[in-house]
């Protein structure tokens, strides 16, 4: 994922030392209710949501023509391969 570019606003001058020295933490200048309201807003969780049945990462060596055939089906080829393997696994005889 590409990083967002640093945005600058040439119309906004840099803060002076005097302005910086006058700054106070939000807790000091807001009422308790205002501060609680802005700090209770939770940022969204990053990344993908946790799956109910997470996939297991594996490394497998396959014949090139198998991989090419699935890739030729376009986006989502890994999911389609998983579906084919799931169906094949259901048809396997149970080990006794």
Q: Is the pTM of this model over 0.75?
A: no
Could you tell me which residues come within 8 angstroms of residue 71 by beta carbon, excluding any fewer than 6 positions away? Answer: 77
Handedness of CA 19, 20, 24, 29 (dihedral sign): positive
Can you tell me the distance from the alpha carbon of 68 to that of 59, in angstroms, rounded to the nearest whole number? 17
Q: Residue 69: its pLDDT value, please?
A: 98
* Chain centroid, CA 49 distance in Å: 8
Q: Residue 11: its pLDDT value, please?
A: 77
Q: Could you report the per-residue pLDDT of 45-57, keeping only the tens digit for each?
A: 778 888 898 999 9
């Amino acid at each position: 994922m590409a990083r967002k570019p640093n945005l600058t606003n040439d119309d906004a001058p840099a803060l002076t030392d005097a302005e910086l020295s006058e700054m106070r933490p939000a807790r000091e200048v807001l009422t308790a209710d205002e501060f609680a309201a802005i700090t209770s807003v939770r940022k969204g969780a990053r990344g993908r949501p946790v799956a109910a049945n997470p996939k297991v990462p594996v490394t497998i060596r396959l014949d090139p023509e198998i991989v090419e055939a699935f890739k030729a089906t376009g986006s989502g080829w890994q999911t389609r391969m998983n579906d084919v393997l799931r169906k094949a696994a259901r048809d396997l005889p149970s080990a006794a």
